[in-house]
Structure 1
Amino acid sequence: MEPQLTAPNQFKETWKHTLLLSFQSLGVIYGQMSTAPLYVFGTLTADDITSEETVYELFSFIFWTINIISLLKYAFIVLTADDNGEGGTFALYSLLCRHAKVGLLPNESSANDVMHYETGSPFKIKAESRARRAIEKLRCGHYLMLFLALFGSCMTIGIGVLTPTLSVYSVSSGIQRSLSDISHRISASEKEREAISRALEKYVPVSTASAILVCLFTLQHYGTRKIGFIFAPIIIVWLFFIGGGGVYNIFHWNKEILLATSPMYMYRFFRNIHSKSWRSLGSIALCVAGSEAMFTSLGHFRRKSIKMTFVCFIYPVLVLSYAGQAAYISKNLDVRDFNHLSQSIPKQMRHWFVAFSLLASVVGSQATITACFSIINQCLALGCFPRVKVIHTSDKIHGQVYIPDINWLLMVLSLVVTIGFHDIVKIGSATGLAVSSGMLVTTCLMSLVIALYWEKSLFESVCCLIFFGSIEVMYVSACMLNFHKGAWYLVVLLALSLTIMLSWHYGTKKKLEFDIQNKVSAEWLIGISPGLGVTRVPGIGFIYSDIVTGIPAFFSHFITNLPAFHQVLIFVSFKSLPMPYVPPSRRYLVGRVGPRNFKIYRCVVRYGYCDPIRDTDNFEEQIISSIGEFICMEENDFDFQNSSEGRMVVIGNPPADGTGSALIPLNDTNSYEMECVSMASNETLSPLGDAIESGFTPVMRKKVRFMLPPNSPQMHVSVREELQELIDARESGTAYFLGQVHLAVRDGSDILKRLLIMTYVFLDKNCREPPVALNIPHAALVEVGMVCCI
């Protein structure tokens, strides 16, 4: 059995914590599902509901869709396929990458054995099976899986744009109707009442919805925990309100609506099917909006809390609410706006309803926004999204993140939808297509997980795909009939976001392929040094590269033109594994490049797609401490990983207090470092003497100094000498080498390749700097540029 990885600082889940997370989840995850009654029937036109029998049929669809999709599929099946506590389409894709050789992400084509090395490692590929062998040989299937993962992520982003607009706009329409009723009572003439109604209908919903959306997105920086505590009481009151209203309507208007839970009414619907009635199913698909957020937001909470909250509270309240609304509609088909939830509330409670619905609509949008942050964080770590700033809002649950750039982008896109469409039917059509398409992608990936990860029979996998997939295909087809009514906007949004993701993935992969094809062996560096008369400059040089074996092309280019490098060289590579977390004890893979006297080391830093991006303020010290541990372990003949360059060993995150370390850290915040001035590598470079003379200037910077442990008979003299040389080099100063590969398109390339490369170049120039360069002083940075023609 494989060891399970856990998130750092993850607390033990007791019943107290479960109840606490369940309470918070009400305000974050279930806001969308609880506010869906505002617009499920509301996005249907009066022509779609022509008789009491039609109401029974539509409610039967709602009841069984919630039972099959939300309850059975998500609460009892999909939630169990988490990737060490993380959910979403990329979590399913990462499970497939880890347990079958289907990955196409850039990090998986480079030195896979070194990356996944460890005895009893959780990165180990499972034993071969017939289904696994078949899918591994089918190369087009690998591309299809990656496309499905990206497509599902784009649908999550689309839902994050459309759902806030839909929920807020539906409430704004209710406010407009209430103001119209008031104006009718105080206006003297029919002409005045009509003029006021037209003005209210034109300006109130759009302006109110826009103001609410701005307030909602402004609150996001407080984080999931605070927002959950703020929003959860609102959702609880709202659920009791609509649940109680549902019970009242059932007993007051039509108790026979409960008979519509029979699937016979769905059969009657199919028996008398036509294009108009089939199109109405696109609105019914909205009753399960928010189900995908249960899985996507799994990293913000825990499986037990999410499932318990849905089964014990959300599910029964939603069924009662929809049943009550259907009971009212079935007996009030002649009432104006009979299909809106506010009309089914007794008049004496209607003003309270408008107030609560306004607050609940704000909360209802939170689930999709949170899901967007989670899925983009996963895409970002796996090289499928441009670099953006990710803020971790919790020190206990690292899945709770906030992405400022995405937050404001979602706000702008939501405002564009609100102002551009100002029609709940059109917005509902686009939202229904996004919801049903996203669920269909999850079903496809889930069927593969059943076969390749759970190792169930192919029959069970196919049954899952056919059973759930057929229902979701039905809803997708119904939504496509509303393409001209607003669903086209989702297609435009999909094309834009998918182009960005595919371009970034393609450009990242091509850059890595260029590095791999143009790298040189370690023997080249060792052999060319005497011939070029290479000068060893005092200090430490950190060479950051995406490759984990060999010498990167940009550094060989630098050495050829300027034959000098530091007394100690450390090749550093950051590699994201297709899993959410890498424990600190397995984070660093350290080895030696070349003979001992060259003092050249390699450090591979492995992290999961939900691990926080490392902080460069203390990262340099962690690398040096890890190399110190490696030097001691190497002398004691520990079990090393053999590579083409030598031996490598897994080093854990060194203790902060230096206990048990080969090097003891001493905090010294007033130390001066001699750091290399930034320079660019061009065709002609300044002479070596000038570079050495003018390339080092004192820079005030906080730094951790090191000292050797007291004399110990267990430590060999040569080990102490090498450690002392490492400390002396650290004291002399540090320089950081970064390679900049600039992509260019060859003449005669096809249009698709030109589009992808041009998009990638534009994004690369305008997005956030690479994490490794964020906190490096400019005076210590050396950037070497190279051009890669594709």
Structure 2
Amino acid sequence: MNSHKHSQKLSAAGLLISLGIIYGDIGTSPLYVFKAIIGERLITPDLILGGLSCIFWTLTLQTTIKYVVITLQADNKGEGGIFSLYSLVKRKAKWLIIPAMIGGAALLADGIMTPAVTISSAIEGLGLIYHDLPTVPIVIAIVTVLFVLQQFGTSLVGKAFGPIMWLWFTMIAVLGLVYVMQMPEILKAINPYYAYHILTTNPEAFLIIGAVFLCTTGAEALYSDLGHCGRGNIRTSWVYVKTCLILNYFGQGVWLWHLQGTKLGDVNPFYQLMPDWFLLYGILIATVAASIASQALISGSFTLIAEAVRLNLWPKVKINYPSEQKGQLYVPSMNWILMAGCIVVVLIFEKSVNMEAAYGLSITVAMLMTTILVSVFLMRKKVPMYIVVFFLVVYGILELTFLAGNAAKILHGGWFTVILGLSIFAVMWAWTNGRRIRNRYMKFADVEEFFPILTNISTDESIPKYASNLVYLTSANFNTEIESSVIYSIIQKHPKRADVYWLLHVDVTDEPYTMEYEVDYMIPDKFIRIDFRLGFRVEQRVNVLFRKVVEEMVAAGEIDITSKYKSLEAQKIPGDFRFVVIEKNLSNSNSLRFIERITMSCHRVLKMMSMSERTGFGLDSSFVTTEQVPLIVDIPEPIRLKRVK
């Protein structure tokens, strides 16, 4: 935790880490933004100055003011990202889960698009040197290597990310500055009049705004990676990054100024800024920067999924920790889904210019959802209502305009992102609602009613001993309650005698790194409940945590876990522990509404594909028994059975 806090302090190392982790996506946007703005249009002074003005003000309003100044305030004990934000505000209203899920789904869809777009844009520069070079196989090869390497962790390459991205930003700034110095009057495009003029006079204003939006696509990453870098490092490094980006865009504007009255065709203004002798080096640096941008998004997707699992918004999936680095995790299932998605994108669209149509749509949706959640956060922080309304109206209008501009892309490839986002949202929806429906039919009993019978079973030697310590996981939030299924398992299904019965409950807190527990001796030395409070970024290794708690209780003399078998007791050997995991299955029911039945069918499929609770909670399979218990939904019809002689 200390190293985590240390990396968040404002320092040269922190600034370098910020450059490497955060700015990959937004930093590589000069590769394709201006090319997308010009498109097939005739190059005119209005288009160049209007495009530059739109870029400058989008980066200022959207990235600087909304994210760097306002949204970074919404840190959850130092952590950022849409699910951290949701954890901060979810108690305000139940419906807030919807924008959280939509935003999460949109960011994951973006994680599939970004590597394909950025790497394709970088590699296409090779066409300037080697004409007719097939870029698709090269892009697929790089994407494949990138995803295969994920399982080994990125701590080694991660150390090189900062210096490489610093080289990238310095390079694009110098390339742009050389051209800006040739024609300093290009800087007049900072005047917002030019943005207003092109958006009100150009019949293709919506298409232009959709292309302009690509310059801020990585803004969400600034907030998502708050936990890795810290607010001070992000705000300070952004000043440098924004300066480099603006210089490069304005440099491209100067280059385009000499092409008035013509069309751009397949030419990429970004690579035209480079002298011939530098082109190969420039393409190499661009490719590495694009790979780093992709890496940052892939890592971000893993973190997003891990948080979604802990918040019960996504099925339990295997999560690995490939290196000692804080926050470094690897989700195998998500890795291969992202890889397949990226390859499909490259095969369908082939060129970056075609991908740009599908790109940007999902991230606009994510930003709109962040705006909604930030507004609620500002209200929670007692910010004056008129400021909250002003924030919501200004960014609502701005982002809805961007969304309308990007919606024009749906027929030109945006349909792919829509399908992606909807599929991911459908998984979240089915999983959360399936759980909600199941929980609705879960029956709880008053635990105190069963104290006498549990004490009697524990001492009844006519029942064969099942385990010295019998452990159940419970979802009962109150220690006065217990699931009927647990009582059924101990008393009726197969009476289970044990020296000590344990109940373990895991509560996921709204803070990222909470690790607390509470012990309740319900029947002293016989029936004990432990409540774990774990942050939404903490791995739920119940087996390890439970062992640690028992060790502390033994050391404090609160419990004696020595085996009660005479031969073992004499040798002071600890008794055995056995976990019972109860899987509750909803029986087919006609009382559920049609939509609920579909939801439960999807939930059942997702449950079959996801990890079992045993694996999800890190329980040692050699000490676990899994029991299936039906959740009876329908009250059975009275059976009219007639006995005949």
- CA distance in 2 between partners of 1:767 and 1:21 (Å): 37
- CA distance in 2 between partners of 1:529 and 1:336 (Å): 83
- CA distance in 1 between partners of 2:596 and 2:201 (Å): 49
Question: Equivalent residue for 2:557?
Answer: 662
The partner residue of 1:341 within 263, 266, 270 is: 270
Question: Equivalent residue for 1:458?
Answer: 385
Question: Equivalent residue for 2:209?
Answer: 281
1:607/1:482 CA distance change after superposition, 3 Å = same
Question: Equivalent residue for 1:193?
Answer: none
Question: Equivalent residue for 1:237?
Answer: 167
- CA distance in 2 between partners of 1:232 and 1:745 (Å): 55
The partner residue of 2:100 within 149, 157, 169 is: 149
The partner residue of 1:310 within 218, 238, 250 is: 238
- CA distance in 2 between partners of 1:472 and 1:509 (Å): 32
Letter in 1 for 2:218: G
1:320 aligns with 2:271: no
Helix, strand or coil for the counterpart of 1:179? coil
Letter in 1 for 2:80: G
Letter in 2 for 1:556: I
Aligned length: 624
Question: Equivalent residue for 2:304?
Answer: 375
1:304/1:536 CA distance change after superposition, 3 Å = farther
The partner residue of 1:352 within 272, 281, 290 is: 281
- CA distance in 2 between partners of 1:21 and 1:789 (Å): 56
The partner residue of 2:452 within 508, 511, 526 is: 526
Question: Equivalent residue for 2:495?
Answer: 563
1:552 aligns with 2:552: no
Letter in 2 for 1:148: P
TM-score of the superposed pair, with normalisation by structure 1: 0.74
1:773/1:163 CA distance change after superposition, 3 Å = closer
The partner residue of 2:511 within 560, 573, 579 is: 579
The partner residue of 1:423 within 344, 351, 370 is: 351
1:29/1:14 CA distance change after superposition, 3 Å = closer
Whether the aligned pair in 2 keeps the contact of 1:382 and 1:576 (CA below 8 Å) is: yes
Matches within 5 A, 1:205-284: 205-252=135-182, 254-274=183-203, 276-284=204-212
Matches within 5 A, 1:159-174: 159-174=110-125
- CA distance in 2 between partners of 1:241 and 1:547 (Å): 58
Letter in 1 for 2:598: L
- CA distance in 1 between partners of 2:542 and 2:494 (Å): 31
- CA distance in 2 between partners of 1:80 and 1:213 (Å): 35
Helix, strand or coil for the counterpart of 2:76? coil
Letter in 1 for 2:15: S
Question: Equivalent residue for 1:63?
Answer: 56
1:510 aligns with 2:437: yes
The partner residue of 1:446 within 360, 374, 378 is: 374
Which stretch shows the higher mean deviation, 751-760 or 463-472? 751-760
Helix, strand or coil for the counterpart of 2:469? strand
1:488 aligns with 2:488: no
1:613/1:372 CA distance change after superposition, 3 Å = same
1:619 aligns with 2:545: yes
Which stretch shows the higher mean deviation, 441-450 or 753-762? 753-762
- CA distance in 1 between partners of 2:502 and 2:3 (Å): 30
1:772/1:222 CA distance change after superposition, 3 Å = closer
- CA distance in 1 between partners of 2:436 and 2:103 (Å): 21
Displacement of 1:403 after TM fit?
2.0
1:353/1:434 CA distance change after superposition, 3 Å = same
Whether the aligned pair in 2 keeps the contact of 1:580 and 1:608 (CA below 8 Å) is: yes
Displacement of 1:761 after TM fit?
1.0
- CA distance in 2 between partners of 1:602 and 1:593 (Å): 7
Helix, strand or coil for the counterpart of 2:539? coil
1:34/1:14 CA distance change after superposition, 3 Å = closer
Question: Equivalent residue for 1:87?
Answer: 80
1:528/1:31 CA distance change after superposition, 3 Å = closer
1:528/1:170 CA distance change after superposition, 3 Å = closer
Whether the aligned pair in 2 keeps the contact of 1:554 and 1:784 (CA below 8 Å) is: no
Question: Equivalent residue for 1:785?
Answer: 628
- CA distance in 2 between partners of 1:504 and 1:322 (Å): 44
- CA distance in 2 between partners of 1:91 and 1:484 (Å): 34
- CA distance in 1 between partners of 2:552 and 2:464 (Å): 23
1:34 aligns with 2:33: no
1:370/1:579 CA distance change after superposition, 3 Å = same
Q: Which residues of structure 1 form unaligned runs of 5+?
A: 1-6, 103-141, 181-196, 629-657, 676-697, 699-704, 706-723
Letter in 2 for 1:381: R
Letter in 2 for 1:474: T
- CA distance in 2 between partners of 1:581 and 1:604 (Å): 16
Whether the aligned pair in 2 keeps the contact of 1:43 and 1:424 (CA below 8 Å) is: no
Question: Equivalent residue for 2:636?
Answer: none
1:776/1:663 CA distance change after superposition, 3 Å = same
- CA distance in 2 between partners of 1:773 and 1:431 (Å): 34
1:528/1:25 CA distance change after superposition, 3 Å = closer
Whether the aligned pair in 2 keeps the contact of 1:588 and 1:626 (CA below 8 Å) is: no
**RMSD value over aligned CA atoms?**
3.0
- CA distance in 2 between partners of 1:437 and 1:746 (Å): 37
- CA distance in 1 between partners of 2:195 and 2:361 (Å): 21
Helix, strand or coil for the counterpart of 1:85? coil
Q: What percent identity do the matched residue pairs reach?
A: 24
Displacement of 1:528 after TM fit?
7.6
1:8/1:101 CA distance change after superposition, 3 Å = farther
Displacement of 1:520 after TM fit?
4.5
Whether the aligned pair in 1 keeps the contact of 2:315 and 2:607 (CA below 8 Å) is: yes
- CA distance in 2 between partners of 1:172 and 1:457 (Å): 49
Q: Deviations over 1:128-161 (max 9, x none)?
A: xxxxxxxxxxxxxx22x11100111011101110
Question: Equivalent residue for 1:684?
Answer: none
Displacement of 1:56 after TM fit?
0.5
Whether the aligned pair in 1 keeps the contact of 2:584 and 2:629 (CA below 8 Å) is: yes
Displacement of 1:377 after TM fit?
1.6
Which stretch shows the higher mean deviation, 354-363 or 320-329? 354-363
Whether the aligned pair in 2 keeps the contact of 1:545 and 1:739 (CA below 8 Å) is: no
